[in-house]
């Protein structure tokens, strides 16, 4: 009997976890579901492990925490036993003991999400790190409830979007604590090195998020100055560029073309700001740019800001990270600019809802490529030299969805709106920044008859990184998008093996609900173009172009998928009323 056979025979009953005893009878489409169920089972095991560690902390550490002054105190001793049993570091187990205690004492509803397989142990580590300010605060139960409600929404979570969601909730409850944490982080910025493998080492540097973006752009500007024949990978060129910038040594192209090399490489000290120009997009609400009002005295009362008093305007700021003279407006990446003579769009529907938070909180912002930032950080960035601030919808009227000259290409307003709404690539598992990606027509655009599908609208556009955009075009997956009853864009993805995957549960309009108040006019009909003429009168013709056939097949497939999804959701709703275990 082989070792593999022995291990299989000694496995516990996997059916209680919803897992098959053997994969031999599982088809390709079912293998992905097995992976998902195994992850849920792993989450349940993580819950039991953390629950036991929380109990260790409660019994062996907490009773002595206020009086134990020994160097090797109760916390150290309790962690030492577990560290030896698991073969882990002392510091790592000490931290996990505190994290487990924080989870079950301060975030019990989040802990239940782990038990139910909604999230994983990796998600829990991120949540605990982002809610360190919550422990012991009177608002902790509210934060716990809001986190659990968000986690149980339909959709997936990447670690970056999970971090954004946690910050969104925590920042609004205690901006003062966030301010102190950010101050401590900035004061703790440093540079350090550590050995790697095979004669290499790693250099680390911590600094403010915008300075990292500016420094990275400077590195990229030097690294990209080589010719096409340079054999190094992008990462290796960037590494050499960092060394050249720090040491002042010459950065050289390593091609073998000799005098035929057409690279123009500046001296490291001469890499101009214009060559390393970087646009940092920061999004915030109008009220955040103003200094927050002080909290009232405990005995004072103040009415909450009503819907009529709320300011729905959003601002998009760009910091060029360059010299003061570069003060022109930084436009987002777009296929082509709007016409200067663009007529006033005809309004269709006026915004029907207004949403705002209390004016006393300091607000939040979103930095493209980084995530949620505090209101104080937003105001600091707004004061930087070279910052350009502009309202997304200053007139508060419906905006034009596409360019006047081409109904296929989104307008600047639509371009900004989609990137802010999505925040990242919308494909589950991808966190590429939205402003570095492409705008994709979710339903293929019909250039001959746009009304048939694929129009340039907020419901018809989504952000995808270049790789996932090309994968969709190549038929690796199919996606669909719809606007739900709350005005939120929802994505659904269909794989070649038949899996149905819901898109992200968190997006930019969760951070900025006023995004849902921005409206667009209806798309205009395209200009008339004469159809192409056949070569001869006798040439055979198709019923419609090949591309139109492809688009029609995809529309039919989406319609079938939607009907199947509706049936699955109805079945899940019935199951929810039954008393069933989580698996």
| 547-561 pLDDT per residue, tens | 566 656 666 666 666
Q: Point out the domain boundary residue: 471, 498, 517.
A: 517
Q: What is the DSSP letter of 291?
A: P
Q: What is the pLDDT of residue 124?
A: 95
Please check whether residues 372 and 493 belong to one and the same domain: yes
The residues that bridge with 43 in the sheet, in sequence order, are none
pLDDT by residue (tens digit) across 68-106? 888 899 999 999 999 999 999 999 999 999 999 999 999
Tokens of 42: 């792993």
Q: What is the pLDDT of residue 169?
A: 93
Please check whether residues 259 and 288 belong to one and the same domain: no
Tokens of 6: 């022995």
Has residue 439 been placed in a domain? Answer: yes
Number of domains, the chain: 3
Q: How far is residue 220's CA from residue 326's CA, in Å, rounded to a whole number?
A: 20
Q: How far is residue 424's CA from residue 433's CA, in Å, rounded to a whole number?
A: 5
Rounded mean pLDDT, 310-335: 44
**Cα 268 from chain centroid (whole Å):** 34
Has residue 36 been placed in a domain? Answer: yes
For strands 500-502 and 489-495, give the pairing. Answer: antiparallel
What is the tally of helices (H) and strands (E) in the chain? 16, 14
Please check whether residues 137 and 219 belong to one and the same domain: no
pLDDT exceeds 70 at position 530: no
Q: Point out the domain boundary residue: 464, 496, 517.
A: 517
Q: Point out the domain boundary residue: 138, 170, 185.
A: 185
Least confident of 1-10, 44-53, 170-179, 220-229: 1-10
pLDDT by residue (tens digit) across 141-187? 999 999 999 999 999 999 999 999 999 999 888 887 787 888 888 89
Q: 352, 357, 350, 351: which is closest to 306 by C-alpha?
A: 357
Please check whether residues 112 and 249 belong to one and the same domain: no
DSSP string for 313-338: -EEEEEE--S-TT--S--PPP-SSPP
Has residue 354 been placed in a domain? Answer: yes
Q: What is the pLDDT of residue 119?
A: 94
Long-range CB contacts (within 8 A, 24+) of 454-459:
454/551, 455/407, 455/523, 456/401, 456/402, 456/407, 456/408, 456/409, 456/410, 456/414, 456/523, 457/401, 457/520, 457/523, 458/401, 458/414, 458/417, 458/418, 458/421, 458/483, 458/489, 458/520, 459/483, 459/489
pLDDT exceeds 60 at position 310: no
> What domain range is 496 assigned to?
280-293+309-517
The residues that bridge with 294 in the sheet, in sequence order, are none
Rounded mean pLDDT, 403-413: 91
Has residue 320 been placed in a domain? Answer: yes
Please check whether residues 440 and 493 belong to one and the same domain: yes
pLDDT exceeds 60 at position 336: no
Q: What is the pLDDT of residue 434?
A: 96
Please check whether residues 386 and 453 belong to one and the same domain: yes
Please check whether residues 244 and 322 belong to one and the same domain: no
pLDDT more than 70, % of the chain: 74
Q: How far is residue 549's CA from residue 572's CA, in Å, rounded to a whole number?
A: 35
Has residue 54 been placed in a domain? Answer: yes
Tokens of 69: 């002054």
Please check whether residues 316 and 446 belong to one and the same domain: yes
Has residue 425 been placed in a domain? Answer: yes
End-to-end CA distance of the chain: 32
**pLDDT tier at 485, thresholds 50, 70, 90:** confident
Rounded mean pLDDT, 518-533: 72
Please check whether residues 453 and 319 belong to one and the same domain: yes
pTM: 0.75
Please check whether residues 336 and 430 belong to one and the same domain: yes
pLDDT by residue (tens digit) across 343-358? 444 443 333 333 333 3
Q: What is the pLDDT of residue 360?
A: 44
pLDDT exceeds 60 at position 296: no
Has residue 240 been placed in a domain? Answer: yes
Query: Is the distance from CB of 93 to CB of 16 less than 8 angstroms?
Result: no
DSSP string for 245-286: HHH-PPP----S-GGG-------GGG--TTTT---EEEEEEG
Q: How far is residue 135's CA from residue 56's CA, in Å, rounded to a whole number?
A: 19
Please check whether residues 114 and 160 belong to one and the same domain: yes
pLDDT exceeds 70 at position 499: yes
Q: How far is residue 507's CA from residue 162's CA, in Å, rounded to a whole number?
A: 10
Please check whether residues 351 and 462 belong to one and the same domain: yes
Has residue 349 been placed in a domain? Answer: yes
């Amino acid at each position: 009997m082989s070792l593999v056979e022995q291990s299989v025979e000694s496995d516990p009953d996997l059916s209680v976890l919803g897992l098959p005893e053997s994969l031999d009878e599982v088809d390709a489409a079912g293998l992905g579901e097995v992976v998902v169920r195994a992850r849920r089972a792993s989450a349940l095991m993580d819950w039991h492990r953390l629950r036991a560690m929380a109990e260790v902390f409660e019994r062996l550490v907490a009773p002595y925490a206020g009086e134990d002054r020994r160097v090797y105190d109760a916390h150290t001793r309790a962690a030492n036993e577990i560290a030896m049993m698991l073969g882990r570091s002392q510091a790592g187990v000490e931290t996990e003991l505190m994290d487990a205690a924080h989870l079950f004492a301060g975030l019990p509803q989040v802990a239940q999400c782990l038990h139910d397989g909604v999230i994983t142990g990796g998600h829990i580590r991120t949540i605990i790190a982002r809610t360190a300010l919550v422990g012991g605060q009177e608002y902790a139960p509210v934060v716990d409830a809001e986190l659990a409600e968000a986690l149980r929404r339909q959709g997936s979570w990447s670690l970056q979007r999970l971090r954004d969601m946690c910050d969104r909730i925590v920042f609004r409850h205690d901006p003062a604590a966030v301010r102190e944490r950010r101050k401590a982080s900035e004061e703790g910025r440093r540079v350090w090195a550590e050995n790697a493998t095979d004669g290499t080492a790693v250099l680390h540097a911590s600094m403010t998020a915008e300075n990292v973006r500016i420094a990275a752009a400077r590195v990229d500007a030097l690294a990209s100055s080589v010719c096409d024949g340079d054999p190094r990978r992008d990462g290796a060129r960037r590494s050499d560029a960092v060394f050249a910038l720090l040491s002042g040594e010459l950065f050289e192209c390593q091609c073998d073309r000799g005098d035929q090399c057409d690279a123009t490489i500046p001296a490291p000290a001469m890499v101009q700001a214009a060559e390393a120009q970087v646009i940092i997009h920061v999004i915030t609400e109008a009220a955040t740019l103003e200094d927050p009002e002080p909290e009232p005295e405990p005995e004072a009362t103040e009415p909450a800001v009503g819907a009529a008093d709320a300011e729905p305007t959003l601002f998009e700021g760009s910091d060029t990270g360059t010299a003061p003279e570069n003060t022109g407006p930084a436009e987002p990446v777009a296929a082509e600019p709007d016409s200067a003579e663009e007529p006033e769009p005809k309004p269709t529907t006026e915004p029907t809802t207004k949403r705002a938070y209390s004016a006393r909180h300091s607000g939040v912002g979103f930095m493209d490529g980084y995530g949620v930032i505090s209101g104080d950080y937003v105001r600091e960035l707004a004061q930087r030299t070279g910052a350009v601030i502009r309202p997304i919808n200053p007139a508060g009227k419906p905006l034009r969805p596409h360019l006047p000259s081409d109904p296929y290409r989104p307008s600047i307003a639509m371009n900004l709106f989609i990137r802010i709404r999505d925040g990242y690539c919308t494909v589950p598992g991808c966190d590429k920044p939205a402003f570095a990606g492409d705008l994709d027509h979710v339903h293929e655009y019909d250039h001959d008859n746009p009304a048939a599908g694929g129009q340039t609208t907020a419901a018809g556009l989504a952000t995808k990184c270049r790789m996932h955009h090309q994968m969709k075009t190549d038929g690796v997956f199919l996606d669909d998008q719809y606007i739900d009853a709350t005005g939120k864009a929802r994505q659904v993805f269909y794989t070649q093996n038949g899996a149905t995957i819901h898109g992200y549960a968190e997006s930019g309009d969760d951070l900025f609900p006023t995004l849902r108040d921005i409206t667009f006019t209806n798309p205009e009909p395209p200009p008339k173009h004469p159809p192409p003429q056949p070569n001869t009168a006798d040439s055979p013709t198709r019923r419609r172009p090949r591309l139109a056939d492809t688009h029609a097949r995809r529309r039919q497939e989406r319609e079938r998928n939607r009907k199947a999804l509706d049936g699955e959701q109805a079945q899940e709703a019935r199951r929810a009323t039954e008393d069933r275990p989580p698996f």
